[in-house]
Amino acid sequence: MKSYDVCECGAPLELREQETPEPTGSEVLLRVVAAGVCHSDLHFWEGVYDLGGGRQLKLTERGMTLPLTMGHETVGEIVALGPDAGRLRIGDRKLVYPWIGCGECKVCQRGEEQLCLAPRFLGVFRPGGYSDHIVVPHPRYLLDIGDLPPEQAAPLACSGITAYGALRKVGGVLQTEPIVIIGAGGLGLMCLALLKALGGHGAIVLDIDPAKREAAKAAGALAVIDANAPDVVKQITDAANGGIWAAIDFVGSDKTVRMGIDSLTKGGKLIVVGLFGGEINLPTLYIPVKAMTLQGSYTGSLAELSDLLDLVRHQPLPLIPVRRRPLEEATAALTDLKEGKVIGRVVLAPVG
Q: Where along the sequence are the contacts to Zn ion (CB under 5 A)?
A: 38, 40, 101-102, 105, 108, 116, 158
Contact of 141 with 120, CB cutoff 8 Å: no
What minimum distance in Å lies between the beta carbon of 327 and Zn ion?
A: 17
What is the closest distance, in whole angstroms, from the C-beta atom of residue 235 to Zn ion in the complex?
30
Q: Which is nearer to Zn ion, 105 or 311 (CB)?
A: 105
- In contact, 143 and 153? CB cutoff 8 Å: no
Indicate the residue among 73 and 132 with the shorter CB distance to Zn ion. Answer: 73
Q: What is the distance between the alpha carbons of residues 281 and 118, in angstroms, rounded to a whole number?
A: 31
Shortest Cβ 143–Zn ion spacing (Å): 16
Of 102 and 319, which has the nearer Cβ to Zn ion?
Answer: 102
Of 40 and 237, CB closest to Zn ion: 40
CB of 80 to Zn ion, least distance (A): 27
3-class state of residue 206 by DSSP: strand
The residue (of 101 and 200) whose beta carbon lies closer to Zn ion is: 101
- Shortest Cβ 119–Zn ion spacing (Å): 8
Compute the distance between CA of residue 54 and CA of residue 300 in angstroms, rounded to an integer: 30
Least distance in angstroms from the C-beta of 123 to Zn ion: 8
Contact between 85 and 26 under an 8 Å Cβ cutoff? The reply is yes
Amino acid sitting at position 148 = L
Of 275 and 311, which CB lies nearer to Zn ion in the complex structure? Answer: 275
Give the CA distances from residue 43 to residues 9, 16, 231, 279, in Å, rounded to whole numbers and listed in that order: 9, 21, 31, 17
Surface-to-core class of residue 146, CB atoms within 10 Å of its CB (0-12 exposed, 13-18 middle, 19+ buried)? exposed
The amino acid occupying position 194 is L
Closer CB to Zn ion, 101 or 300, in the complex: 101
For residue 269, the minimal CB distance to Zn ion (Å) is 23
Q: Which is nearer to Zn ion, 127 or 178 (CB)?
A: 127
Query: Closest Cα partner for 85 from 145, 26, 6?
Result: 26
Phi, psi (deg, nearest 5) at residue 43: -70, -45
Distance CA 264, CA 281 (A): 17
What is the spatial distance between Cα 132 and Cα 129, in angstroms, rounded to a whole number? 7
From the CB of 212, what's the least distance to Zn ion, in Å? 18
Helix axes 186-197, 210-218, angle to 10 degrees: 20
